[in-house]
Structure 1
């Protein structure tokens, strides 16, 4: 995409309802029939973004809006699809570019079939939140989400995305965190791939992953690696309470890989790494403790609670909460692995409480799911 420029301001179509939001300058918009289409949405976005801040919602029922060109966001904008709206790139268009001046939230949306000159569905230079979003079946020679700003992902699903590049541009099947600050919480990455590094996520700067599941992700190009996550660059990044199972690195690092060439530290704690092809844990990794691994390769961890054992995971399924997870079965080595004093996080990927109180001892489970946790629906509704 081109470097950020000032977006063109257009008049709002008559069918879009406007209301003052907060201060007088802010504008909200509701996209309604007969303009539940690209032109109607573009007009709403121009009005809200042009006012400096506001929220776009939809009164379209379940609808797909196909883009013929990508949309830019320069200010404080929330786009809330109510879990009923799909933005579709038609395999020819990208979806959004977020300027450095922006604070954008995409919520309750499906984003699919995006491509732009063999590049990114979403390009972020500012602050971007993805909340209860499904990002699926995007195929191009570049990562789906290119982040050079601040990226916050929560309760979202990334599935079936493909980055076909094997050289420059081939880093990150879904997310390429290139000099930005990225955090991923309570989300699932499944069936994504890239031709070089990071089947799901590539990062050369600060990355924090919490309560998330990675399965069936892969790197495919010759000499490629980091089937789930590839870390490079500098800074301290973390992977905590993750389930990383059945991913593939074509040459190395089927699960996790930190290349160690720079000064990057990747701390892994309270996580499951199992049955990843060509290495569960490779490169220069640091343990925060209470990790469990299983399969043909071990992890180089010896902190308290670290060890091999069968997590006895079920298939990816709806186990409660907004995203699919992999539930440990009876006798799992992950259950009750973390002492109560070391639990650290109050909720699992589903929004269920930690500790789950299995057999009443107050310990927590390693991985993204707390087997006997109590689901608390109040936490399902986006960023608190």
Structure 2
């Protein structure tokens, strides 16, 4: 049955037991001997406490009518299951199961704005119970895929899912969600959506919050959304552009993959990949000051209570500001380029935790400003190529690699004459290639920042297009570039970094534009490119046991003299808690803590997979960072390897406890030795054996995992055991289990021959054997049993037995025999003993005996076995 109410037997027994009443008998003198004392049951106690309702989706097409989800075939679509889950009463959790290796194409485009999942995106709106959607995997041939591309045809746009407001709890697990597109549905920058946040331009695949109620009133706040082993890919959100003149109302785009809007939302992302998602701000309108819309969060836009990201990857995602509109008339100005914040993720409020995760190849790109004859405008600023944080953010055991923030180009200001001012403006600033901390706090514990960059936008060009000079014209300066990896922008924003490695990052300022020659043209300043690793802004920054080296910074080109000096690794004043290593401390102050090293090359290796969930930069042998730091409470490095390993071949720095500086703790070379080959016999009545062995270990090997752990059951035969260390080396040995147990034959009871008429009687194996079994060989049976030998406790020719010979004759195939019915007259009877045998595939031979007796008299005592006096052997091997 596809609607399944699953009970816990233990829970059921407890519930029913708790609900029962019992009667205690009164004493014989009691006036009420039958009075019952009830067991008190709480008023809100529910006798029916099943723990799950399951809806099995059995069709892949998109229909809102298949909501029954019963035993009947073909009556449960994904949309139907969501509608069913929304309508289900009570607090019973609902699980929607998708089929593996199946794509669910959403095709019912949005007929009207609604939050009931009837058309368009799948709205989940129930606050009565949590809803879980489970697939068959997030990658590979078994993946379950929810594809929203069918909702984005022509002018139609929609995402895949919307969680409509506070109190709604939804978990997505083991599936792919892709190709959603959220775009504003209004004209001239004005949305027709009644939600205050213009929700149609947020959350390209999943939107948490910003729903509307049945009265068309906006719901402010999000629910709880969890992604576990989910791939969220190729989703897009588009800010609305402005096509009308003199109407600078382009709208921003929020969260290309997922957006959580409002004060109540919570988002949990575990073991998931968000990739190739984008947020594109709307373009400004042409005519005058048509400013473009901003883009926030290429994969994630978050405001709410808590955003938790663990064991996940945010890759190849983009936030791109819109293009400023052009102002072609004499007195018109071009529009400003749209801002871009958070190429990977934008965190606007609350608490953010990032653990064991990677932000890679994400980009925040400010929009270019438009062109105006009177004046250009500023290029869009860009911040946080990986992450823009306006929240309290903690990053642990994670890597930010190859993320970029690029400012937009300043607007040009050209004209054929000097009627307009022709004042071009500056390129957009670029801050924080990996992270821009713009408010709150940023805490980094054991993380790597490599190959991130910021690039300021170039300034616009100004002047006459047909030569000559205009006295008031101006060209734009380049945009500043600050913090190739990290920067904090505002006074109250604090940065604390412990056990970090920040290397290979860069800050390149933009170049100034060009202007027609003229005596009164103002010189434009050189834009500063600084803090290739970290640029410390107005807020405080505290560093401990951190490497910042081999980063670069460069100014742009300009006209004015006295250009600022770039700070390649760190720009600004820091508070050092000691044991930091800085390659170039030019433009940095504060590195006077205990054990600080400046002007030193840490000899880092390239970013690589050195074990652990994220890539790291290993220390080369001989690095000055080895044994030059302190643990400062850390038990492990970024990979999960023990911290501290005190290298016996390196003298500790004067104030070091033997810990290495940075995110990577150099470990001893792993020498892994497996035990010798093991050979044992099978356990009794088992086709194999439980084998204990000494699991290998070695200094510097980290955790060693064997594919057949000690104490495992090993089948008969040879098994190769491979043990692999998290440091890389592996070793192997064999476990051989020999089948040494013989098969077992079960015989029937003794057979009696009567009368003693000296005639033969034939017996087959089937007459004597009830069964034959083996612990390993399923082919062993009665059919394989043979006669080995037969003995008689009387001589072949004894007195009174008729003087006959050949009393025992075994057939050539050893599967039957003939016995003569005779015995010595006046004796105690005759006993024939037949020894049977059977062999298994391993060569083990099992035997058993059966008896045939000839009593002295028919109704007298049973025959007595006096031991063998006559033996016949079979000819079968």
Same fold (TM over 0.5): yes
Q: Is the 8 A contact 1:57 1:81 kept in 2?
A: no
RMSD: 3.3
Please identify the structure whose Cα radius of gyration is greater: 2
Deviations 1:291-332 (A, max 9, x none): 012258585301001013322111111111011100001111
- 1:79-228 equivalences under 5 Å are 79-81=227-229, 85-89=231-235, 94-99=256-261, 100-118=263-281, 119=295, 120=297, 121-126=299-304, 127-141=306-320, 142=340, 143-144=342-343, 145-149=345-349, 150-165=351-366, 168=380, 170-178=382-390, 180-195=391-406, 196-204=430-438, 205-221=440-456, 222-228=479-485
Are the counterparts in 2 of residues 187 and 323 from structure 1 also a CA contact under 8 Å? yes
Aligned residues: 357
Give the Cα–Cα distance (whole angstroms) in 1 for the partners of residues 264 and 92 of structure 2.
Answer: 17
Unaligned runs of at least 5 residues, structure 2: 1-63, 68-77, 108-115, 144-175, 182-202, 209-221, 239-254, 282-294, 321-339, 368-378, 407-429, 457-478, 509-528, 554-567, 668-699, 706-725, 727-877
Partner of 2:623: 332
SS of residue in 1 equivalent to 2:616? coil
Distance (Å, rounded) in 2 between the aligned partners of 1:267 and 1:38:
50
Q: Distance in 1 between matches of 2:125 and 2:356?
A: 25
CA distance in 2, matches of 1:249, 1:76: 38
> Structure 2 CA distance, aligned partners of 1:351 and 1:231?
29
Distance 1:38 1:239 in 2: 45
Structure 1 unaligned residues grouped into runs of 5+: 1-9
Partner Cα separation in structure 1 for residue 81 and residue 648 of structure 2: 58
Picking from 315, 324, 336, the partner of 2:606 is 315
Distance 2:445 2:353 in 1: 12
1:1-384 matches, within 5 Å, as 13=79, 24-33=91-100, 36-37=103-104, 39=106, 46-47=123-124, 53=130, 56-60=133-137, 62=139, 63=143, 64-69=176-181, 70=203, 71-73=206-208, 74-81=222-229, 85-89=231-235, 94-99=256-261, 100-118=263-281, 119=295, 120=297, 121-126=299-304, 127-141=306-320, 142=340, 143-144=342-343, 145-149=345-349, 150-165=351-366, 168=380, 170-178=382-390, 180-195=391-406, 196-204=430-438, 205-221=440-456, 222-233=479-490, 234-250=492-508, 251-260=529-538, 264-278=539-553, 279-294=568-583, 297=586, 299-300=588-589, 301-308=591-598, 309-339=600-630, 342-359=631-648, 363-372=658-667, 375=702
1:257-276 CA deviation, whole Å, 9 max, x = no partner? 1112xxx2110111001111
Q: Contact 1:87–1:109 (CA<8 Å) still a contact in 2?
A: no
- Per-residue deviation, 1:352: 1.6
In the alignment, is the contact (CA less than 8 A) between 2:502 and 2:533 conserved in 1?
Answer: yes
Pick closer, same or farther for the CA change 1:281–1:57 going to 2, 3 Å: farther
Change in 2 beyond 3 A, CA 1:39/1:152? farther
Check the 8 A contact 1:56/1:79 in 2, yes or no: no
State the alpha-carbon separation in 2 of the partners of residues 67 and 302 from structure 1. 52
Cα gap change, 1:113 to 1:79, in 2 (>3 Å): same
Following TM superposition, by how much is the alpha carbon of 1:224 offset from its aligned partner in structure 2, in angstroms? 1.3
Go from structure 1 to structure 2 and tell me whether the alpha carbon gap of 1:363 and 1:95 turns closer, same or farther (over 3 Å shift).
same
The DSSP-based 3-state class of the residue aligned with 2:617 is coil
- Deviation of 1:130 after TM superposition, in Å, equals 1.2
What TM-score, normalized by structure 2, do the two folds share?
Answer: 0.38
Native 8 Å contact 2:499 2:544 kept in 1 = yes
Give the distance between the partners of 1:344 and 1:157, measured in 2 at CA: 24
Closer, same or farther: CA 228–202 of 1 in aligned 2, 3 Å:
same
Shift of residue 49, structure 1, vs aligned partner: 7.3
Could you tell me whether the CA contact under 8 Å between 2:433 and 2:484 is conserved in 1?
Answer: yes
* TM-score with structure 1 setting the length: 0.82
CA distance in 2, matches of 1:46, 1:32: 21
Contact 1:162 1:174 (8 Å CA) reproduced? yes
SS in 2 for 1:347: coil
Residue 90 of structure 1, CA deviation: 6.0
1:315-359 Cα deviation digits (max 9, x unpaired): 1111110111000011111111124xx532122111122112322
Task: Out of 343-352 and 68-77, give the one that drifted further.
Answer: 68-77
Q: Does structure 1 conserve the Cα–Cα contact (< 8 Å) formed by 2:604 and 2:619?
A: yes
Once residues 335 and 56 of structure 1 are traced to their aligned partners in structure 2, the CA distance between those partners, rounded to angstroms, is: 48
Name which structure has the greater RCO, CA cutoff 8 Å, separation 6+.
Answer: 1
Question: 2: distance between equivalents of 1:284 and 1:56?
Answer: 50
